[in-house]
């Protein structure tokens, strides 16, 4: 199963500036393992123990994988996978409110 | 430093005032590699919140596909703070993921005062930068 994966600017440090890379896998989970094998460190930016990170959007063709099968989403030859960091933020901290999520896509490990 | 047309600043402030007390958000795209904001793209705040903003995930995909096909970058990513100063919050810093973008913040806490500031946010480090507003030419 060969799939074309579109990489966002912030993760191109892993792909030597490539905007798209080929990868393979029968599911999104396998695809991410394959990406990790070629671009070590990239998987940690996409997933944690709970699954896809909150601030990462992954699309299979034109659909958000959160509305498909998440990491178990099945892939077919010729599919396109697009990774985009969420564009989000906000004043957040207002007296008495909970802290915002601490993890982020731009974290260095 | 960010150089930006007055008309784009005006459009952003108008959007922020319109959506107040919720936060407003959007992008100003420009030719790839130019660092020149040109195309104003107001986005819907899917969170519809006075303390949080988020682009809807399908809107986000459409936006990035469109910029890609027009060979554009998100030169400016803007949003408003509606009760606090125009300075990146911890939430803003934790989500910032466009290392080449100018993060433009507008505060709408004072109805009669314009408060617009620009920042780079890279690897969790915030650097304020000067904003040079270019008067819009009228024919």
pLDDT at A92: 85
Q: To the nearest whole angstrom, how far is the Cα of B106 from the nearest Cα of chain A?
A: 11
Q: How many CB atoms lie within 10 A of CB B83?
A: 14
Nearest chain A Cα distance for residue B96, angstroms: 7
Is A84 close to B81, i.e. CB distance below 8 A?
Answer: no
Question: Would you say A60 and A79 are in contact if contact means Cβ atoms under 8 Å apart?
Answer: yes
pLDDT value, residue A96: 42
CA count, 13 A, side-chain hemisphere, A89? 29
Q: Which fold has domain A2-85?
A: Ubiquitin-like (UB roll) (3.10.20)
Q: Map tokens 């440090």 to a residue.
A: A13
Closest by CA to B108, choosing from B31, B16, B5, is B16
Residue A13 forms contact with B (CB below 8 Å)? no
From the first residue on, what is the mean pLDDT of each consecutive set of 10 residues in chain A (109 residues)? Answer: 94 96 97 98 95 94 96 96 97 57 48
Give CA separation, A44 vs A4, A47, B12, B49, in Å: 20, 6, 35, 30
Contact B60/A86, CB-based, under 8 Å?
Answer: yes
- Separation CA A97–CA A90 (nearest Å): 13
- Per the CB < 8 A criterion, the answer to whether B62 and A57 are in contact is no
pLDDT tens for each residue of B65-114? 999 999 999 999 999 999 999 999 999 999 999 999 999 999 999 999 99
Q: Choose from B29, B86, B91 for mutation: most chain A CBs within 10 A.
A: B91
| Bridge partners of residue B128, in order along the sequence | B119
Residue A56: closest CA among A38, A35, A77: A35
Distance from CA of B81 to the nearest CA of A (A): 6
Give me the residue spans of the domains in chain A: 2-85
> How far B24 CA sits from the closest chain A CA (Å)?
9
CA separation for the pair A108, A4 (Å, rounded):
26
Cα–Cα distance, B36 to B16 (Å, whole number): 21
Look at B139 and B43; give whichever has higher pLDDT.
B43
- Cβ of A89 within 8 Å of Cβ of B88? The answer is yes
In this complex, which of A10, A82, A90 lies closest to B53 when CB atoms are compared? A90
- From first CA to last CA, the distance across chain A in angstroms is 30
Q: Where are the alpha helices (DSSP H) in chain B?
A: 6-19, 57-69, 90-95
Q: Say yes or no for a CB contact (<8 Å) between B123 and A59.
A: no
What is the pLDDT at residue B25? 98
Q: For B17-69, what is each residue's pLDDT tens digit?
A: 999 999 999 999 999 999 999 999 999 999 999 999 999 999 999 999 999 99
Q: Do the Cβ atoms of B123 and A106 come within 8 Å?
A: yes
Q: Find the CB nearest A100 among B55, B57, B91.
A: B91
pTM of the model: 0.90
Domains, chain B, with CATH or none = 2-134 (3.40.140.10)
Q: Do A104 and B123 touch (CB under 8 A)?
A: no
Rg (CA), chain A: 15
Residue A93: per-residue pLDDT: 62
pLDDT band at B138 (very low <50, low <70, confident <90, very high): low
| Contact criterion met (CB < 8 Å) for A90 and B47 | yes
């Amino acid at each position: 199963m060969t799939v074309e994966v579109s990489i966002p600017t912030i993760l191109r440090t892993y792909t030597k500036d490539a905007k798209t890379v080929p990868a393979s896998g029968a599911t999104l989970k396998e695809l991410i393992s394959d990406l990790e094998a070629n671009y070590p460190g990239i998987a940690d930016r996409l997933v944690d123990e709970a699954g896809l990170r909150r601030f990462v959007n992954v699309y299979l063709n034109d659909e958000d994988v959160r509305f498909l099968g998440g990491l178990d989403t099945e892939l077919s030859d010729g599919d396109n996978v697009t990774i985009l960091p969420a564009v989000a933020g906000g004043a957040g901290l207002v007296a008495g409110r909970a802290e915002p999520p601490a993890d982020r896509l731009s974290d260095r490990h | 430093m960010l150089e930006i047309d007055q008309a784009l600043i005006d459009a952003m402030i108008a959007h922020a005032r319109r959506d107040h007390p919720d936060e407003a958000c959007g992008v100003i795209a420009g030719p790839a590699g130019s660092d020149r904001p040109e195309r104003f793209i107001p986005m819907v705040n899917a969170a519809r919140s006075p303390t949080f903003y988020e682009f809807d995930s399908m809107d986000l995909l459409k936006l990035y596909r469109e910029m890609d096909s027009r060979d554009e970058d998100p030169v400016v990513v803007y949003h408003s703070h509606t009760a606090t100063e125009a300075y990146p919050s911890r939430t803003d810093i934790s989500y910032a993921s466009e290392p080449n973008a100018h993060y433009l913040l507008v505060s709408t806490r004072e109805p009669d005062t314009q408060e617009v500031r620009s920042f780079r946010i890279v690897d969790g480090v915030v650097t304020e930068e000067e904003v040079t507003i270019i008067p819009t030419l009228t024919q």
